[in-house]
Amino acid sequence: MSKVLAVANQKGGVGKTTTSVNLAASLHETRKKVLLIDLDPQGNATTGSGVDKSQLELSIYDLLTKRASFDEVVVKPQGVEYHLLPTNGDLTAAEVELLEFQNRELRLREIVNEIRDRYDFVVIDCPPSLNMLTINALVAADGVLIPMQCEYYALEGLSALMETITAISESLNPELKIEGILRTMYDPRNKLTTEVNGQLFSFFGDTVYRTVVPRNVRLAEAPSYGMPVLKYDRQSRGALAYLAVAGEVLRRIDKAESRAV
């Protein structure tokens, strides 16, 4: 059975797109078929996958607004193994146009449900704000993976996101749950990091992934070369961290499925 994961945080600059791209690449490394959906109008997951967003003839905007089919929009970026629904600035117009659709909150779920049997994982890179695109992602998803830095303002953003997830699960997607909280740009030498880390485990316990993603130069450089860090420098600490994240994601899913049997 396929799994749809929304990578979301209402605070920007927490490694959301970095996590989306590198989780997609790392899950494929475990022999999973993966689709990455770039739902952020900035298009960073698109360029980070090696696709020139300025040259796109079709994007997820065309798919959401029913101007094109999935097979017309999906691409297989050169140099990476996952499939991609790319985007660019046109996606900002989709928010306005979706208001004219009946059941506009369900549009992405309709798309995903039609193709999810082709993939083991669908990873959705969400915008860093609560808007119609983010709501579509949360309604389409089975779980939310939340990347966050261990800093004070990140905790504030996390509480706001939790309220959003609760509201969506109560009204539009009762199956939605928090898949896990991933600590990014992690520096254990920072005192605030240690304090926030302790608070995270106190409040969220096992929801917090044991794996952390460290601050890593190679991880920061990889997007400028249009590739996941696994392709840029496989031996880097960033690449090894995301491979470990993928392994932890898979173990959690296996454990949950075995409990459900």
Task: Indicate which CATH number applies to the domain containing 155.
Answer: 3.40.50.300
Does residue 157 surpass a pLDDT of 80? Answer: no
Closest CA to 183 of 164, 170, 166, 196: 196
State the Rg of the chain over Cα.
17
> 126 is in which domain, residue-wise?
3-260
DSSP line for the chain? --EEEEE--SSSSSSHHHHHHHHHHHHHHTT--EEEEE--TT-HHHHTTT--GGG-SS-HHHHHTTSS-HHHH-B--TT-SSEEE---TTHHHHHHHHTTSTTGGGHHHHHHHHHGGG-SEEEEE--SS-SHHHHHHHHH-SEEEEEE-SSHHHHHHHHHHHHHHHHHHHHT-TT-EEEEEEEEEE-TT-HHHHHHHHHHHHHHGGGEEEEEEE--HHHHHGGGGTS-HHHH-TTSHHHHHHHHHHHHHHHHHHHHHHHH-
Q: How confident is the model at residue 61 (pLDDT cuts 50, 70, 90)?
A: very high
pLDDT of residue 99: 83
Q: Encode pLDDT of 205-260 as tens digits.
A: 999 999 999 999 999 999 999 999 999 999 999 999 999 999 999 999 988 888 87
In percent, the amount of the chain with pLDDT more than 70 equals 99
Q: Encode pLDDT of 11-60 as tens digits.
A: 888 899 999 999 999 999 999 999 999 999 999 999 999 999 999 999 99
pLDDT of residue 151: 80
Q: Which residues contact 92 (CB under 8 A, 6 or more apart)?
A: 41
Per the CB < 8 A criterion, the answer to whether 94 and 65 are in contact is yes
Give the separation between CA 49 and CA 60, rounded to whole angstroms. Answer: 15
pLDDT of residue 155: 76
User: In the chain, how many domains are there?
Assistant: 1
Question: Would you state the structure tokens that stand for residue 168, as one six-digit string?
Answer: 């969506």
Q: Encode pLDDT of 163-210 as tens digits.
A: 999 999 999 999 999 999 999 998 888 888 888 888 889 888 999 999
Q: Encode pLDDT of 9-25 as tens digits.
A: 988 888 999 999 999 99
Specify the pTM: 0.95
Does residue 1 surpass a pLDDT of 80? Answer: no
pLDDT of residue 184: 94
pLDDT of residue 261: 67
Average pLDDT score over the chain: 93
pLDDT of residue 150: 81
Closest CA to 148 of 253, 6, 19: 19
Q: Which residues contact 123 (CB under 8 A, 6 or more apart)?
A: 5, 7, 20, 23, 24, 27, 34, 35, 36, 37
pLDDT, mean of residues 150-166: 83
Closest CA to 177 of 133, 134, 146: 146
